[in-house]
Amino acid sequence: MPKRWHIRPHDPAAVAALEQSTGVSSILAGLLAARSITDPAAVKAFLSGSLADLRDPETLPGVPEAADRILAAARAGRKIVIYGDYDADGMCATAILVCCLEAIDAKPVWYVPSRQEEGYGLNAEALATLATQGASLVVTVDCGITGVAEAKVARDLGLELIITDHHNFAEALPEADVLVHPRLPGGGYPFGGLCGAGVAFKLAWAIATRASGSSRVTPRLREALLRGIGLAAFGTVTDVMPLVDENRLFVKHGIENLRQRGGPGLARLIELTGLHERSRLESEDIAFKLGPRLNAAGRMAMATHGIELLVTDDRTRAASLADYLHELNTQRETEERSLQLAAAKQAKEQFDPDADAALVLADRGWHKGVIGIVAGRLAERWHRPVIMIARDPLQGGPATGSVRSVPGFDVLAALKACAGHLLGCGGHAAAAGLQIDDAKIDEFRRAFVAEVDARLPESLRRAQITIDGETSLAALTRDTVEQLEKLAPFGEGNRRPVLCASGVTLAEPARTMGQSGRHLQLQLRQHSARMRGVAFGAGEWLPHLPLPGQPFHIAFRPKINEFRGRRTAELEIIDWRPDGIDVSSDLPDLVATTT
């Protein structure tokens, strides 16, 4: 189904006033106004915010008491366990606290549950094992806030339990010794969008100032915190948190710390991905190159290797771990491509992905660590909530599902409405997970599709591209595009600007690129201007694109491409329309494109 194009309305007077009051260029003023950033002080904070603008960690609910307890346990020589999660955010959060505690000569250990065997979050069996191994204090990161029963188990075992998390609450809060959470009821913290690593950094910061007896921390702790800022940036991007407020500060200033102070493991990953040849890292580099390699460790049940890569200073060991994670990611990509083909085939043969309100797909042999990625790809392709369920190969145990939504639709609420068919579920509005009895999958599918059909408004059933404005290719000089980079870091809540251009032609036939031919490279011409364009994952457009010389419209993100020290402006094409369609209005339903 073709996407709708929505071009943001502009108030020329407001843009001109912003340009005059702040001194920014007209194109930057227009994009800031489109983001509702018009107050001069807000513009300055957005473009020039510093780490000094991070809020005092003492104001984060639970941090003061948690820091006191952890420091006391460290000084008493008690065994401290950091209980993490197997995604990149959880690994980064674990590494932040481990590095902080090692910087005060504590010897923490970490524990990460197996995605395949134990699933997400605290589990009673793991707590019992840790207690028999001499654990005294357990500090969770990026998990635990729904662990009501597990907190009681910890208390019965005599474990001191500190829960740090950022996920949604259950109906009741766990009775841990301390809860650290940015949205804790009654806490009053002004920004609830921190990721698990962001919360862990705030706690590490408070521990460091206590251990140093001053806000001016020791050199060793300073280095640990500087590495922690980079890891908080990594976790923020990979967990797809909104890049506003403190998250923007973490990412804006933490990305370069990953290169300078991320440790030998990340340095090797940067080298393996070719990013060492770039003059600077960007948030997209974390999202699409570094993040998937760290996440591959968790998806393939090797999360402890990912944490070790982040904390070790042994160059030989770090290089070995990075090479292994790089290879794991290659395996994950192969598994993902195979699973996506199988899932798309099932969707087309057994359901109607263009008409059904949601897709619930299930099969045996699907990898639990990969189904979430594929669900996201299919949700984007058909613009429908998608559930991928990995059924138990032995047909005796529960099945595990990953859920991905479309923008604006609360998929978790729809899941909870069908909770009677499930063994359990949890997550966010945009992404969730579930467990289900294998025999109940069909009845759950019917209930969930009906629930989504009743809840999903017509306006969300068709993908929409929001466009910041129309421009010409001639206007997109390198200097102009570099001005747009002042809005970085880009990601959730602060997307890279999207523009459109009309009357564009192909200067030569488009061609595929990449090992599988999934991507396209286009040489675009408009009057006397010529630019390179790349369309990722759009290989299927190839037979449908206009012939060279035939005009059409494009929607794109302007970017700077850096290759062998040369920086040039290019376009990331995200959609196109045939000639004869007014780009200022939505595409009529009777007009079909290949997107």
Q: Calculate mean pLDDT across residues 191-207.
A: 97
List C-alpha distances in Å: 171 to 147, 174, 306. 11, 10, 33
What gap in Å lies between CA 116 and CA 114, rounded to an integer?
5
At 19-70, the pLDDT tens digits run 999 988 888 888 998 888 888 889 988 998 899 999 999 999 999 999 999 9
Q: Is the pLDDT confidence value at 586 over 70? A: no
Ordered structural domains, the chain, with CATH? 4-10+464-578 (2.40.50.460), 55-256 (3.90.1640.30), 351-460 (3.10.310.30)
Identify the pLDDT of residue 358: 96
Identify the pLDDT of residue 516: 75
Q: Is the pLDDT confidence value at 539 over 80? A: yes
Identify the pLDDT of residue 588: 47
Q: Is the pLDDT confidence value at 592 over 60? A: no
Identify the pLDDT of residue 1: 61
- SS3 for 74? helix
Q: Is the pLDDT confidence value at 386 over 90? A: yes
Chain-wide mean pLDDT for the chain? 91
At 414-457, the pLDDT tens digits run 999 999 999 988 877 888 899 999 999 999 999 999 999 999 99
pLDDT above 70 covers a percentage of the chain that reads 97
**Residue 242 carries which side chain, given as an amino acid letter?**
P
Q: What is the DSSP letter of 46?
A: H
Q: List beta partners, residue 362.
A: 389
Q: Calculate mean pLDDT across residues 501-529.
A: 92
Q: Of 34-38, 147-151, 401-405, which gets the smallest average pLDDT? A: 34-38
Q: What is the DSSP letter of 487?
A: G
**Residue 223 carries which side chain, given as an amino acid letter?**
E
Identify the pLDDT of residue 594: 35
Q: Is the pLDDT confidence value at 299 over 80? A: no
| φ, ψ dihedrals at 171, nearest 5° | -65, -30
pLDDT above 90 covers a percentage of the chain that reads 72
Q: Compute the Cα dihedral for 257, 258, 260, 265 and give only its sign.
A: positive
Give the contacts of 229 (CB within 8 A, at least 6 positions apart): 51, 201, 250, 253, 254, 257
* Confidence class for position 584, pLDDT limits 50, 70, 90: low
Q: Is the pLDDT confidence value at 353 over 70? A: yes
Q: Compute the Cα dihedral for 50, 55, 58, 62 and give only its sign.
A: negative
User: 122 near 162, Cβ under 8 Å?
Assistant: no
Tell me the two tokens of residue 358: 């949601």
Q: Calculate mean pLDDT across residues 219-235.
A: 97
At 90-134, the pLDDT tens digits run 999 999 999 999 999 999 999 999 876 777 789 999 999 999 999
Identify the pLDDT of residue 343: 96
Burial (CB < 10 A; 0-12, 13-18, 19+), residue 578, is middle
**Residue 459 carries which side chain, given as an amino acid letter?**
S
- pTM for the model: 0.87
* Confidence class for position 10, pLDDT limits 50, 70, 90: confident
Would you give the distance in Å from CA 259 to the centre of its chain? 20
Identify the pLDDT of residue 36: 85
User: 38 near 18, Cβ under 8 Å?
Assistant: yes
Identify the pLDDT of residue 585: 58
Q: Is the pLDDT confidence value at 590 over 50? A: no
Closest CA to 10 of 428, 499, 444: 499
